[in-house]
Structure 1
Amino acid sequence: MSLVDDVLYHGNCHCGRYRFQVSAPRIDSAISCTCSLCAKKGYLWLLPAEGSFTVVKDEGCLVEYQSSTLKDRFCGYCGSGVEGVHLTGALREKFLVNIRTLREPYVNPFNLEPALRVIEAKGDTRSIETSSQESAEATAKSLFSCHCGDVRATLAVPLENEELKEDNCSKCARIAYIGTYPSKDNVTVYGRDRVFEYLTGRRFTGSTFCKICGVHVFSNVYGPPMSVFDKLPPQRKEVALSVYHKNMAMQPLNVRAMEGVKLDNLRPLIKREDEGTEGYDLEP
């Protein structure tokens, strides 16, 4: 395909503080790297041609985090991973754009999976330090962790027994979120003071991201104010309150942050909602 046949794609972090354009042939495949950072962030990479990438808006929100395999740049406000440069392997010194941040509706991450080009990571030397308590717990529980290890959680019940969900709304697609929703009684979170939080819409749920590496490990559930229920008729109020209390008892976790997780094995258990990004509009 010649340059005149290239498509002009528009991309941005979810909050829109960083925006760009990139010209490329019509996207029907993506690059996936097996390194620990790419895996935790669910990156789907596009390798743009030299000179095809242009920054349209930059409010200085991008944070850089470097692992042994990737120099990563993510938004320090909304957590969206936008671009990176690999430091090892076949992608070494290549500038890459996260396809998940592109706004064109037909660039659906779900549709790209059958045509992934998987690049095996080299030189991934990641290790995290955990407390003796966590080490003891991890023998019987699942450990969830950001890449640098500052933010962690343990799950006391088998992941396979919990509900697993994935959708491609504008926010979840950008952070490659696969959620599980266990009871707070079964989860212990470490490092709550080491995250930044991003709330959207009605602000009932806040997605949190490690301040250092930007990995999403857990979410905070707030729910609507109780005054909302006071306006409902008694029968509807009873049902609504039941759902509210169930949601408030949850501690959502990001499945991609689970240490040693094999997503291919979990795929049959993950419920997908392919509703896309309709209704997502950026302010000027």
Structure 2
Amino acid sequence: MAELMPELKTYYGNCHCGAFKFNIKVPEITSLMDCNCSICSRKGYQWVFPGAGCFTIEKGEGTLKDYEFGPKKMEHKFCPICATGVMGKRKGVQTGMDIGINARTLRDLDDIWSFKTNTYDGKALEPAYAPHPFKGPEPTADIENAEIYTGSCHCGNVTMAFKTKGPLNEGHEHIQECNCSICSRNGTVLTYPLATQVSIQTSSAPTTPYTFGRAMQSHEFCPICGVSVYIRKLSISPEHYAKYSGPQKDQKKWEGIMPINLRCFEGVEWDKIEVKKLNYKDFGVKYEV
């Protein structure tokens, strides 16, 4: 008796700004694959592989930007407007095995944290990734016996230094991953130091800003590799702040904070720190594609 083919389900996806939309037809997704390589770990990719003929572009063909590195065996495709890493296309493999989709972009996966994940050890592949050194000035915050973490986007165009009271596993900084529309797509793990605790340097290209919704802050990313690096607070009126965030007396404190993507930093004690998972999916202005 011929083996029955599993029923296919259609999943719809898009980058955050909606410039690129697509769908995939696959058996119901029950697990995802993550990879600990230098690019996947920075972008928080969660992979699914739809197979031949199962991926359809609905809008924005040709709009995604390619990023390649190392032996250039894979094109990492991200939206140049909002930074969402949508897909990867492998070279030298047969059609149907060449496309991986970032499951974070799929609108139909309500709770990506609930899925079983299988880890691929991409970090072990040669050539090993060499971190980009930070060569800028030390953050200006006056902290006794400080710990300084350095990091970068993937290509090294943006490098950063982060000064804190001690090792992150000692709990001096709030660290979170949330499921809001932008953080869930761009895979950021954020911590919220004062701006004086952070120093950011760019080399060949300034970061690209992306603003949406309440228009209170700008999500800054590297235009070359598409990695989200930090959030810049915008200059807004007290009335605007009060409407969307809270009492005006808190605005100065809010303006002094610079959220940074901890995924970009070297030496983070991931196995020892607590990353709080917060449900902000329905907070504030409702996200619509």
- What band does the TM-score fall into relative to the shorter chain? 0.7 to 0.9
Looking at structure 1, the residues matched to 26 and 41 of structure 2 have their Cα atoms a distance apart, in angstroms, of 24
Instruction: From the superposition, tell whether residues 50 and 169 of structure 1 become closer, same or farther in structure 2 (CA, over 3 Å).
Output: same
Looking at structure 2, the residues matched to 31 and 223 of structure 1 have their Cα atoms a distance apart, in angstroms, of 40
Task: Answer yes or no: is 1:222 the counterpart of 2:234.
Answer: yes
The runs of 4+ residues in structure 1 deviating greater than 6 Å are none
Structure 1 unmatched ranges of 5 or more:
233-238
TM-score (norm 1): 0.83
User: Number of paired residues?
Assistant: 265
Partner of 2:105: 101
Looking at structure 1, the residues matched to 136 and 7 of structure 2 have their Cα atoms a distance apart, in angstroms, of 58
Partner of 1:125: 128
| 1:258 maps to amino acid | F
Partner of 1:271: 276
Contact 1:17 1:59 in 2 (8 A): no
Task: Answer yes or no: is 1:171 the counterpart of 2:182.
Answer: yes
- 1:98-132 CA-to-partner distances (Å, cap 9, x unmatched) read 000001143x22112xx211111112432244355
Secondary structure at 2:249's aligned position in 1? Answer: helix
Structure 2 unmatched ranges of 5 or more:
141-145
Instruction: From the superposition, tell whether residues 144 and 130 of structure 1 become closer, same or farther in structure 2 (CA, over 3 Å).
Output: closer
Contact 2:238 2:251 in 1 (8 A): no
Q: Percent identity?
A: 29
Looking at structure 2, the residues matched to 264 and 219 of structure 1 have their Cα atoms a distance apart, in angstroms, of 25
Task: Answer yes or no: is 1:208 the counterpart of 2:210.
Answer: no
Partner of 1:65: 67
2:50 corresponds, among 41, 48, 70, to: 48
Instruction: From the superposition, tell whether residues 3 and 15 of structure 1 become closer, same or farther in structure 2 (CA, over 3 Å).
Output: farther
- 1:35-68 CA-to-partner distances (Å, cap 9, x unmatched) read 1000000000001121100101016431100122
Partner of 2:143: none
TM-score (norm 2): 0.82
Looking at structure 1, the residues matched to 28 and 178 of structure 2 have their Cα atoms a distance apart, in angstroms, of 23
Task: Answer yes or no: is 1:161 the counterpart of 2:172.
Answer: yes
Partner of 2:194: 183
| 2:191 maps to amino acid | T
Instruction: From the superposition, tell whether residues 202 and 147 of structure 1 become closer, same or farther in structure 2 (CA, over 3 Å).
Output: same
Looking at structure 1, the residues matched to 56 and 134 of structure 2 have their Cα atoms a distance apart, in angstroms, of 44
Contact 1:37 1:70 in 2 (8 A): no
After superposition, the CA RMSD in angstroms is: 2.9
| 2:189 maps to amino acid | I
Contact 2:153 2:222 in 1 (8 A): yes
Looking at structure 1, the residues matched to 212 and 136 of structure 2 have their Cα atoms a distance apart, in angstroms, of 35
- 1:192-235 CA-to-partner distances (Å, cap 9, x unmatched) read 95211110111101101101101111110126313447x99xxx
Looking at structure 1, the residues matched to 126 and 91 of structure 2 have their Cα atoms a distance apart, in angstroms, of 9
Instruction: From the superposition, tell whether residues 228 and 47 of structure 1 become closer, same or farther in structure 2 (CA, over 3 Å).
Output: closer
